[in-house]
Amino acid sequence: MKKLLEISLGVVTSIGGFLEMGEMSTAAQAGAAFHYQLLWTVVLGTVCITFLTEMSGRFAAVSGHTIVDGIRDRFGIKVLALPFVSTAIVSLLVLSAEIGGVSVALEFATGIGYQWWALPVALASWLFLWRGTFGMLEKGVSLFGLVTLCFVVAIIRLKPEWTQVAAAAVPSRPHGQAATYWFMAASILGASLSPTLFLFYSSGAIEDGWDRSYLGPNRVIAALGMLFGGVISAAVLLISAHVLNGRGILDVQDFHQLPLLLVDAFGMWGFVLFVASLGIASLGAALEVALLEAYLFAQTFGWNWGQDCPPRANPGFSLVYTCALFVGAVPIAAGADPLKLTIFSMALTAVNLPLMVAPFIVLMNDEHYMGEHCNGPVSNVAVIGITGLAFLLGIVTLPLQYFGGT
Amino acid sequence: MDLVQDVLDKQIVDKNGVRMGRVDGLVAEMREGQLPRLVFIETGTVVMARRFGARAQRLMTALLVRLGAARKTTPYRIAWKDVREIGVDIELDVDSDDTPVHDWQRWLRERAIDRIPGAR
Amino acid sequence: MARCERNSDCSTHRAMKPTRSPSLTAALTAIALLCGACTSSNDAATDARIVLSCARSASQWLDSWLDGTSPSSYARRSVDSASEQVGKIAGELQSSEPVAQIRGVQAAFDAARTALNSGDRARVQQARSTLNDATIRLDAWMRAHPGSAS
């Protein structure tokens, strides 16, 4: 009975915590530029993150290690060094993007420019982490994040051609603007496969004291949580296709265009729902990424860590998330465009993926850590294939997008 | 026991379950005609840097001296006899408060963390 | 006491690193060049498309201002922001591009901003229809010049 409650809570918090600034921005851009066509990237990304999350929980429950802990344990510091540095940097950019997301939502709500909100948002996030416990964060913010289900309601109200939607779930080649198409594919995959999600999940499993009895619940939470979350992401893309592409708005270059997504379906409430969704979802993500940075440092160097402990118990851990939040706020406070920063950080995430996923896959197939719970061929093929694709797309299109001409 | 696989880079945990660093290095005694005998496990920033080469070690030492943390340049050694158990982590018979590994964190706590309200 | 240097790259521990073989680099370069060749849009079409997207978004904002479905500060800031982007593009136009049409959109934006700042419904409605006309003209240019991105 208790397990059932935990499963329900796990699923609900996963759904509520799925969408954030990255998913919203990349899906909105893709829907505007290519109508339904890029839906398959959302599908692939969701499938892959489902596998990665399940593996992450299974690894923690069976081996007693978090992923970063396990990588250092198995491969040593010399191998962990590069993924550690690159993930720390990329995650900092993602943190900036999420702080940007909350700041933009606050600008919409109040009319005060997003730059002014960056430091207050960092401060508020810091207060959450300083005074809160892991349980409170995980459940609280993510429960409020369920407001993002409004996107699913919106797309149902817009009555799309579901057969066309289904057709778009299969990969297809673009009819024009190939470089942009593949770049957007990379950024959507990066947004779905953010290492913050699966690295964070394993730390969470250890914080919650998961053991082998949690293998079943883990599978349910990963599957239902990620799949429903993916549906929300898909809804954003489909809505954008209708509301933006359908009106001939093919470029989303300005974050001010985003609230338009919900005004059609909900009128006045659309604006409110959008602002609430963006703000809450990005806040949850910002808290997670800041914590992830702390976990990353603490687990690489062997410091004591734990969200449930008071800050003075683990000064190093607390110092990292504090610095991460305030450094992360700087680009937004300095006036960097939140939308452009988000898209860039998502594409970078795609490129960074193999550095963490490759050692992780090796661990998942190592009997010494996993016992009889090693990966089956399906998990291996799915994860290697999709992250390989994300990396390839990212490494090719990112330079073209930013340094080449289109 | 495979020292590299089972000891090196493992998490060290004190007798109360508090994490206190990772095994960054090993100190063994070479013996004639026998396998080397493990005497100490080492933990410390400089030891970790040494894994990347002598130049990295020199750079890290210089950096720590520059930051006024010259004490941290000497690695902390744990005698093999103080290791109680090797499982998921390496469990020791010592209390981390009796060791210098958390000195920098204690410094941080006194100078910064305790000055911020709500740290308890 | 003799110190045994432990090299964690020992044979018991072959770690997986991303491969850096020369053949992979060559393959990636080839793909990059191929993708570069695939790029079909040119600057004029991209500019026109972006300006059109800005103009149509602005119509949405003006509509939402008029029927009260969003706060007026949001509509104003959005139109300002899009207007800046159009201004940037208008300032760097080349002769092969639809200069007149884009300038027309820019003028319509100026009218919209003034109207929103004044808060006068009639002026906003007028600006809305001016913007509509400018949008139609730019759209017509784009249809007459295919080879532009759809």
pLDDT tens digits along B73-96: 788 898 888 888 888 899 999 888
Q: Are B89 and B12 in contact (CB under 8 A)?
A: yes
Contacts of B9 in chain C (CB under 8 A): 8
Q: Do C4 and B9 touch (CB under 8 A)?
A: no
Q: Which of C35, C82, C149 sits opposite A396 (nearest CB)?
A: C35
**Using CB atoms, which chains have 3+ pairs under 8 A with C?**
A, B
Q: Is C6 part of the contact surface with chain B (CB cutoff 8 Å)?
A: yes
A227-244 per-position pLDDT tens digit? 999 999 999 999 999 999
Q: Is C5 exposed, middle or buried (0-12, 13-18, 19+ CB in 10 A)?
A: exposed
Predicted local distance difference test score (pLDDT) of residue B100: 85
Residues of C with CB under 8 A from a CB of A: 8-9, 13, 15-18, 28, 31-32, 35-36, 38-41, 43, 46, 49-50, 52-54, 56-57, 60-61, 64, 68-71, 73-74, 77-78, 81-82, 85, 139, 149-150
Looking at the structure of chain A, the number of domains it has is 1
Angstroms from C16 CA to nearest CA on chain A: 6
Q: How much is the mean pLDDT over chain C?
A: 77
Give the closest of C9, C16, C56 to A247, CB-based.
C56
* Confidence band, pLDDT 50/70/90 cuts, at residue B1: low
Domain span including residue A303: 2-402
Where does residue B16 rank: exposed (0-12), middle (13-18), buried (19+ CB within 10 A)? exposed
> What is the average per-residue pLDDT within A101-115?
96
CA torsion through residues A248, A252, A257, A258, sign: positive
Asked which of A95-104, B90-99, C113-122 is least confident by mean pLDDT, the reply is: B90-99
Q: Which of residues 339-398 of A touch C (CB under 8 A)?
A: 354-355, 358-359, 361-362, 392, 395-397
Mean pLDDT of chain B: 86
Q: Looking at residues C20-45, what average pLDDT do you find? A: 51
Does C143 contact chain B (CB < 8 Å)? no
Please tell me which of the candidates A72, A310, A368 has its beta carbon nearest to residue B120.
Answer: A310
* Cβ–Cβ < 8 Å for A193, A350: yes
Q: Where are the alpha helices (DSSP H) in B13-113?
A: 45-50, 54-66, 103-111
Domains of chain C as residue ranges with CATH: 43-144 (1.20.120)
Q: Tell me: the pLDDT tens digits for B30-61?
A: 888 888 888 899 998 889 999 999 999 999 99
**Burial of A210 from C-beta contacts in 10 A (0-12 / 13-18 / 19+):** buried
Domain with residue A150: its CATH number is 1.20.1740.10
Nearest of A11, A358, A9, A26 to residue A192 by alpha carbon: A26
Alpha-carbon distance A359 to nearest alpha carbon in chain B (angstroms):
15
Fold observed for domain B3-115: SH3 type barrels. (2.30.30)
pLDDT-derived band at C5 (thresholds 50, 70, 90) equals very low
- Single out the residue of C130, C134, C132, C112 nearest to residue C65, CA to CA: C112
Give the pLDDT of residue C149. Answer: 44
CB contact under 8 A, B11 and A69: yes
User: Would you state the pLDDT for residue B5?
Assistant: 76
pLDDT over 90 (residue C18): no
Contact A197, A14 (CB under 8 A): no
Its pTM stands at 0.89
CB pairs under 8 A between A and B: 71
Q: Would you list the domain boundaries of chain B? A: 3-115
Q: Which contacts qualify for C60-65: CB closer than 8 Å, 24 or more apart? A: C60/A247, C60/A249, C60/A260, C60/A263, C61/A256, C61/A260, C62/C112, C62/C116, C62/C124, C62/C127, C62/C128, C62/C131, C63/C128, C64/A260, C64/A263, C64/A271, C65/C116, C65/C124
pLDDT at C74 over 90: yes
- pLDDT computed for residue C28 by the predictor: 55
Q: How confident is the model at residue C4 (pLDDT cuts 50, 70, 90)?
A: very low
- The verdict on ipTM greater than 0.85 is yes
Closest Cβ opposite residue A76 in set B9, B18, B104: B9
Cβ-Cβ pairs closer than 8 A, A with C, add up to: 129
CB C94 within 8 A of CB C43: yes
Give C142 or A328, the one with higher predicted confidence: A328
Structure-token match 């999940």, residue found? A201
Residue-averaged pLDDT of chain A:
92
Q: Is A254 within 8 Å of C57 when comparing Cβ atoms?
A: yes
